[in-house]
């Protein structure tokens, strides 16, 4: 249920100051803040905020590099065992858990299905973790080796300290390394399914390593070339993306974690708890994941490491952003699932997508929001199963003019 800004302020302020933990000098510069909660999405609008240390103004979307994790949050090549609260959901055993040692990080993952099965890899977004895919692991573990990692910076995976460690090229290499951990490469391909930030990484992976992918499934995640067009030309998308500016600020951790992660709970959990697709075990699992040392900073660093996307021509940025990518054209059969009630990533991100993804199929889900994976898991699973089982997919008539 949507709440007004006043109602949300009352909720936050009743539990404690919304600037708890913010340095006093910085707090005095935060002259006003409006929070609008619409369904399952939250939009942060900073009014009159300027931090001289990071030079953030309301009109700026420049990356912030002032928020590395503290020393006690530096990544380690060891990680705690998987807590019981996320091994079990009620009385049901959760998937098996393990770790993949990659070149620079250690990734925790959950898996179901035969070890020698065809790999289907699920990549989550912000502020989630492997558990976001628990219903997909059950479904696709029947026919595949279904694997859902905690991406770098999240939950039980390594949490590099520097913002630069979260640049897109490093996230792409994590996917490559994890797929190789399961034997993919050469003639052995895999299917990649991804949502939100995981989807951004998946689009990028498909540009750099198309030969490794059999199929690609994207759920409410924009192709970067389309997204930068929308930010440049669509005022509604620019307004919807104002939360990115907040996520890049030094106060983001304090405000999102305040009052036992009240803001994140309102974004991710509250609608599901109201509507019944989340239960208390789910709530506890998310709170435990968010409470892992450095996990919130790790997730926010994805936003901080992303370069501005409207400051120059897209093709000029590609070699730096994604070494190894030759163009913005995705040469992999792709299914795009889109909850049309997403208020942060607007439907305009689907317009003209065929120019960049010539072999694509788009399924618009009218009643789905950004969290459609949770809202309609059976429908999502059905679309993916249909896509995996089909011999061909829709082909657009668009010429690949930007090859």
What tokens appear for 151 in the block? 């991406």
- What is the C-alpha separation between 363 and 220, in angstroms, rounded? 11
What tokens appear for 218 in the block? 């994207």
Which residues pair with residue 145 across a beta bridge? Answer: 119
Q: Do the Cβ atoms of 102 and 174 come closer than 8 Å?
A: yes
CA distances (Å), 334 to each of 177, 189, 367, in order?
A: 22, 14, 22
- What is the C-alpha separation between 302 and 24, in angstroms, rounded? 26
Range list of H helices, 213-348 = 224-233, 235-240, 242-247, 252-264, 270-275, 280-290, 295-305, 314-321
The residues annotated as belonging to the active site are 196, 303, 370
Say how many CA atoms lie within 13 Å of 28 toward its Cβ.
3
Q: Do the Cβ atoms of 134 and 95 come closer than 8 Å?
A: yes
Q: Measured in Å, how far apart are the chain's first and last C-alpha atoms? A: 44
Residue count (the chain) = 403
- What is the C-alpha separation between 14 and 69, in angstroms, rounded? 29
């Amino acid at each position: 249920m949507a709440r007004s800004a006043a109602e949300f302020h009352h909720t936050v302020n009743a539990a404690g100051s919304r600037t708890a933990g913010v340095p006093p000098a910085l707090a005095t510069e935060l002259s006003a803040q409006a929070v609008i909660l619409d369904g399952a999405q939250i939009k942060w609008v900073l009014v009159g905020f300027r931090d001289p240390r990071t030079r953030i103004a309301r009109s700026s979307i420049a990356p912030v590099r002032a928020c590395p994790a503290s020393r006690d949050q530096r990544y380690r090549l060891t990680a705690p065992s998987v807590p019981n609260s996320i091994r079990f959901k009620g009385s049901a055993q959760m998937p098996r858990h393990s770790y993949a040692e990659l070149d620079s990080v250690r990734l925790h993952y959950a898996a179901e299905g035969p070890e020698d099965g065809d790999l289907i890899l699920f990549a989550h977004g912000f502020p989630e973790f492997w558990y976001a895919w628990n219903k997909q692991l059950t479904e696709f573990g029947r026919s595949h080796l279904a694997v859902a990692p905690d991406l770098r910076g999240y939950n039980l995976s390594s949490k590099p300290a520097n913002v630069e460690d979260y640049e897109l090229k490093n996230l792409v290499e994590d996917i490559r390394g994890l797929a190789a951990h399961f034997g993919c490469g050469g003639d052995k391909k895999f299917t990649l399914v991804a949502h939100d930030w995981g989807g951004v990484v998946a689009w990028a992976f498909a540009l750099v390593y198309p030969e490794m992918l059999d199929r690609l499934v994207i759920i409410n995640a924009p192709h970067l070339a389309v997204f930068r067009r929308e930010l440049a030309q669509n005022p509604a998308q620019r307004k919807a993306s104002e939360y990115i500016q907040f996520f890049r600020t030094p106060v983001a951790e304090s405000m999102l974690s305040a009052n036992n992660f009240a803001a994140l709970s309102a974004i991710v959990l509250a609608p599901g708890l109201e509507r019944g697709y989340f239960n208390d075990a789910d709530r506890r699992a998310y709170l435990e994941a968010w409470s892992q040392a450095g996990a919130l900073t790790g997730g926010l660093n994805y936003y901080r490491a992303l370069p501005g996307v409207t400051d120059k021509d897209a093709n000029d940025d590609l070699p730096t952003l994604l070494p190894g990518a030759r163009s913005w054209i995705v040469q992999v059969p792709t299914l795009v699932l889109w909850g049309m009630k997403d208020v942060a990533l607007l439907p305009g991100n689907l317009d003209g997508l065929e120019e960049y993804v010539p072999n694509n199929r788009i399924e618009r889900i009218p009643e789905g929001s950004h969290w459609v994976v949770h809202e309609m898991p059976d429908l999502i699973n059905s679309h993916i199963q249909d896509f995996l089982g089909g011999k061909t997919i829709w082909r657009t008539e668009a010429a690949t003019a930007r090859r």
